[in-house]
Structure 1
Amino acid sequence: MSDDPMVEEFFSEVNDKYYPQVMEGLEMLESDDVAEGIEILSRPLHTIKGVTGFMAGFEPASHFTHKIEDFLKKVQGGEVESTSENLILLSRGINMIFQVLEQLRDDTVDEEEQEELLALITEASASGQSEETVSGAGVDVETRDDVTIIRVKDPRVHQESQYKPIISAILFIEPGDSILVDLSQVLTFGSTAWGALASMGSTFKVAACNLSSDAKQTLYAWGFDDTITVYPDEDTYFTTQ
């Protein structure tokens, strides 16, 4: 595969552009600047996953990168705690992406090492949430000036049991009505939860306020701000309506 011009062009991009970006992101993880490090890492990983998916013979690299990217997003969204052990595991997985690329290029793939790492990632992902966190504390609902305010009571919203009360509350509201989701009690709000909320945007006018920095970062990283309007607080929302 090394004689393929597309492969050579891709590896040139990897060496000159993507690998330096990844190294910068990994250095930030090591210095405990986790949020910024993940933000930097997200872009090259997403590109590598997409490009290798269309390169004959490199599809396994795309699949592997997808699994590492998924773990990265779980750490970013708080679904997996950013402990030193999990960050080391994440760094190891990201470094292995480049190892897998080189192995595929040389036709010397070590699937056993990949499977070992992915098993550790699966274990870390499964233990990322405590039973208390997953249970779901629900929501409080009130109406102000014809706007339904949904106040989320869970400190972490990632699992279906945690964001389902929000969606259920919305389904009791008349289509086209305005909704304000108050996240003042929420520390992290996962991408899956944002996606479920954004899916309501075609039927309702959805806004959110009092977002933590982590919740806001996940919202913008996934582009859900195209559907959900963000306000700093409840009063600002009502004064701008």
Structure 2
Amino acid sequence: MSEDDSLIEEFFSEVNDKYYPQVLEGIDLLDEQQIEEGIEILSRPLHTIKGVTGFMSGFEPASTFTHKVESFLRKMQSGEIGRSLPQIALAIESVNSIFILIEQLRNTGTYDTEFTTDIEERLLGEGKPAAVTLGNGLSPVEIESIDENKIITISVNRLYLYEQREAVKKNLHDIPTNSRVLFDFTNTLSVGSSLFELIVSFSDRLEISITGMNNLCSSTFHSWGFSRYITEYDNRETFLADNISGANG
């Protein structure tokens, strides 16, 4: 292993063990609209990530992107931009996008420039409500019935806000007790831990499973211990084939 490889492995070990748990705490505070506290906690790991990636060959785009996210958070903290739900949602989305970006750089050596450009443009637009796909009357989930099983597909790329979770909650309330339910995250880039907490709160009356999580969603899912309550399946076909209640995926 080269010196550069050793540095990258050490960095990602720090990200998983130290930085990301701090980021999750900060994101949860933002979600609860505790802005100052959330940004204060986020500032430490993000500043470190910006500095380290700036010196790591091939990871410079992550440093540049993180700097832009930090600038947005500082403006929110100082009151230069608003703190309404769309701005909070953009703040959470942009922070999570840092980790998507560094994973892309690590795995492929490149990244989705369209993805980062979209976020950067919205950050420069100061998170105005018109730039956020929220409040358009669309449900954040789609639900279907297959052989008496309920499949709930997350139909938005990112799910963090209270209104979105309330829509999920309503769908879960309407499902009969003891039903088998599968959450499909195939089209989802990232979600807050509050969504998993909501889903788990229904696990006493529904047999809930999950599939299709990317690395970011999976990291949140496992680091918070939600796997103790929700069974993970490789895909929906495996779930549908497994009709034994309580089976391990």
The TM-score normalised by the length of structure 1 is: 0.54
Preserved CA contact (<8 Å) 2:39 2:77: no
Match of 1:219 among 218, 221, 224: 221
SS of corresponding position for 2:201: helix
1:163 offset after TM fit, Å? 2.5
Going from structure 1 to structure 2, the CA distance change for 1:202 and 1:148 (only over 3 Å counts) comes to same
Q: How big is the alpha-carbon RMSD for the aligned residues of Structure 1 and Structure 2?
A: 4.1
Q: Distance in 2 between matches of 1:44 and 1:167?
A: 26
SS of corresponding position for 1:175: coil
C-alpha distance after superposition, 1:132-159 (max 9, x if no partner):
2444642221111211111110110111
Preserved CA contact (<8 Å) 1:134 1:161: no
Q: Distance in 2 between matches of 1:147 and 1:179?
A: 6
**Residue 169 of structure 1 aligns to which amino acid in structure 2?**
N
Match of 1:85 among 67, 79, 104: 67
Q: What 5-or-longer segments of structure 1 have no aligned partner?
A: 1-23, 47-63, 74-80, 90-115
2:41 is aligned with 1:68: yes
Preserved CA contact (<8 Å) 2:190 2:217: yes
Q: Tell me the equivalent position of 2:155.
A: 153
Query: 1:4-43 maps to which residues of 2 (within 5 A)?
Result: 28=11, 33=12, 36-41=13-18
Query: 1:200-215 maps to which residues of 2 (within 5 A)?
Result: 200-215=202-217
Q: Distance in 1 between matches of 2:21 and 2:168?
A: 34
Q: Distance in 1 between matches of 2:232 and 2:206?
A: 15
Preserved CA contact (<8 Å) 2:43 2:70: no
1:204 offset after TM fit, Å? 1.0
Going from structure 1 to structure 2, the CA distance change for 1:45 and 1:157 (only over 3 Å counts) comes to closer
Q: Distance in 2 between matches of 1:88 and 1:175?
A: 45
Count of residues paired in the alignment: 164
Q: What 5-or-longer segments of structure 2 have no aligned partner?
A: 1-6, 24-36, 47-61, 94-126, 244-249
The alignment-based identity, stated in percent, is 17
1:71 offset after TM fit, Å? 8.7
**Structure number with larger C-alpha Rg:** 1
Q: Distance in 2 between matches of 1:186 and 1:44?
A: 20
Going from structure 1 to structure 2, the CA distance change for 1:169 and 1:117 (only over 3 Å counts) comes to closer
The TM-score normalised by the length of structure 2 is: 0.52
Preserved CA contact (<8 Å) 1:152 1:166: no
